[in-house]
Structure 1
Amino acid sequence: MDRSTQVRAMASEARMSVLRLLAEPEKHFASQWSADPVEFGVCMTLIAEALGVAQPTASRHLEILKQAGFIIVRKHQKWSYCKRDEAAIRDYLAWLQQELAAT
């Protein structure tokens, strides 16, 4: 994984907010009717609404998170759904901890 892409992804408060929201999809997106937000992921439209931004802006943030490997995007019919990739996030955090502890 390209660590510079991951660092860039984490450098935005909006993208950090997306990851926080997706950490508890049942709490933040319980009203999603098209698919189970925990099992399938959260619709990009609802993420844009939760951030209070236009859909193109949310899509740009989500694309960066996807490129960094922090989210998985699945398409179903005309919608795209996002879910955190917990293993990738854990790997990044372990790498960051190691880098910051290096002497």
Structure 2
Amino acid sequence: MNKHMDRSIQIKAISSDPRLTVLRLLKDPQKNFGHQQSADPAEFGVCMTLIAHALEIAQPTASRHLDILKQAGFITARRHLKWSYCKRNEAEIMEFLSWLGDEISPHA
């Protein structure tokens, strides 16, 4: 993990229902986005347009949510042709959950 990762950005990222929904949907991209034809959703990532559609929100709104998740390190995004594809960053999510558990555990 980037030791300079701002935990407040990570907490902000998970404090939103739409962003939590994105993380849930991306947990099983094959099940939730198996209809994506441009690239394998599990291997390559899920097109931002499909994520916006799944959330039933406008593309610019979805982009803002995805940008916060990206800043938090919880997703990665890559461009292919004119589209952007998102994947969960499992290592960063697990590291954050471990940190959070250590911070709020009654045994810490």
User: Which residue of structure 2 lines up, in the alignment, with residue 37 of structure 1?
Assistant: 41
Q: Which stretches in structure 1 are left out of the alignment for 5+ residues?
A: none
Q: Which runs of 5+ in 2 are unaligned?
A: none
What CA distance in whole angstroms lies between the structure 2 residues aligned with 1:101 and 1:37? Answer: 35
Shift, 1:63, TM fit? 0.1
Match of 2:17 among 1, 4, 13: 13
**Two-structure CA RMSD over aligned residues (Å):** 0.8
CA distance in structure 1 between the partners assigned to 2:105 and 2:75 by the alignment: 26
1 CA distance for matches of 2:95 and 2:48?
25
Aligned match of 1:100:
104
Shift of 1:36: 0.3
State the 1:101 CA deviation.
1.5
Match of 1:4 in 2: 8
Q: What's 1:28 paired with?
A: 32
TM-score (norm 1): 0.98
Q: Which TM-score applies when normalising by structure 2?
A: 0.93
Q: Percent identity?
A: 64
2:93 counterpart residue number: 89
Q: How many residues align?
A: 103
- CA shift digits 1:54-73 (9 cap, x unpaired): 00000000000000000000
